[in-house]
Structure 1
Amino acid sequence: MRIKCIVAYDGTLFHGWQIQPNVRSVQEEIQKALKNITGENIVIHSSGRTDAHVHAHNQVFHFDSDKNLPEKQWQRALNHFLPADIYIKDSCFVNEDFHSRYSVKEKEYHYILSTNTYSPFDRHYIYQYPYGKLDLKIMQEAAQIFIGEHDFASYCVYDQYGNTIRTLYDFIISEEDGVFTFVLKGNGFRRYMVRHIVGGVIQVGAHRKSIAFLQDLLDSKGAKKCLFKAEPEGLYLEHVYYEED
């Protein structure tokens, strides 16, 4: 049977989602828990990878198992074996044609930035911007150039085989008491894409770069690269949406 899970994790002590040699990953911790439950060598499939120190409120993964457990028992069993920085929020049975990555219709990322006085308690969860104030209005204007279908090659890491055309449905920036929230919704995101877009918009908000500069990068379709990348600790995979949602 195929089981779909929604998982939240604190990315601080992880080297990202994907299993890599000699470093701690979210995928490895979950697969170890599944081994304890089922005795099977299960490989889980996520909606996409997150990088080192990036967090998730609602990441999605699925796996197949011959173990016969009630669908909600998978949540309880996994949480029993998982470390405290990973928590399974839900588990359910899905059809065999469901795939956590290929069935995705929309993803939503949030990026959190503070211009307030530095707090050691927030250092792993908010990018604490050390260079003064940011211009919210001009950042909101800059965000508009990214909405729609574009070739985002200038704003992501890619190889010659990768498709860098994506559609950004919405890009909302708000501020409350010195804390800025960047919300990006799209049909998919390439590696570092959110962090490069946010990094570029921050430069505009600091009046170091113009909106025209960001537009020129976007129009170059990879011929010119955005060299600004927001720090990972402020980034959260917020939601993954499927047809049934």
Structure 2
Amino acid sequence: MAKNDRESLVTRFDVAWKGLESDLKHRWMKQTGGGSGQQQTAFSLLAWAREQKLLTADQERFLDRCRSVRNAYAHVSFEGYSGPVASPPKEIVERLERILGALRHPRKVGEIATRASTCLPTTPLREALQTMHRGDFSQLPYQDEQRGWLLVTREQVGRWAEAKAEADGMVLLDLGVAVSELADHPEVGPVRPRRVGASATLATAVAELEAALHRPDDAEGGYPLVLVTGKGGDAPVQVLAVDDLPRAYQELGMIW
């Protein structure tokens, strides 16, 4: 790589890193009032940004590694040489710049999430399954008056069939029952998705989805889907699912 190209990458890395530090420090000062004179290091600022869901855990890890090697990209002057000790890879610089761009101009989850097909609590299970089959979905959201937004899922139907099975393994299912009956069944129970508003940042929604992936599907908040809802009864319902993660990661600068 030519010297000018190396120095250009070093300059871009340094500009992006200083911009990131400045942005996070400004946000921290604005929210905490400076913490009674407490000084924040780059390491602690990254941890704070993750806690505030300004950064995902993956972004924080990447940026912490950038922090660790930053000094190697600094300009030095000795023995007649003036320039960087090392040059950052182009992919690293571009990823750092994308993360900074996403932090300064955060995408909203509503811009990325997919429009959801929904049903009613009274929708017959047969119709819900047909809708899921036609759309190749694994779940359908519905709004329950008492419990808020719930999901009817293929896994839930499987647990319901197991609960209905006789000792000899035979089972006769009434697919005309309302989807809400699965949530009411003591051996099945409701599936409550994680939920964010349409104005939530994409980083926040990705963090919620990643958290769901670390819990069992049938545990509270464990189903791998985030429901995105707006204000008002006419607001569209959207979902951020596992299939949406590659695009979301690209938008957040988490992959190149």
Interval of TM-score (by shorter of Structure 1 and Structure 2): under 0.3
Answer 1 or 2: higher relative contact order, Cα 8 Å, separation at least 6. 1
Please identify which structure carries the higher helix content: 2
Bigger strand share? 1
Highest Rg: 1 or 2? 2
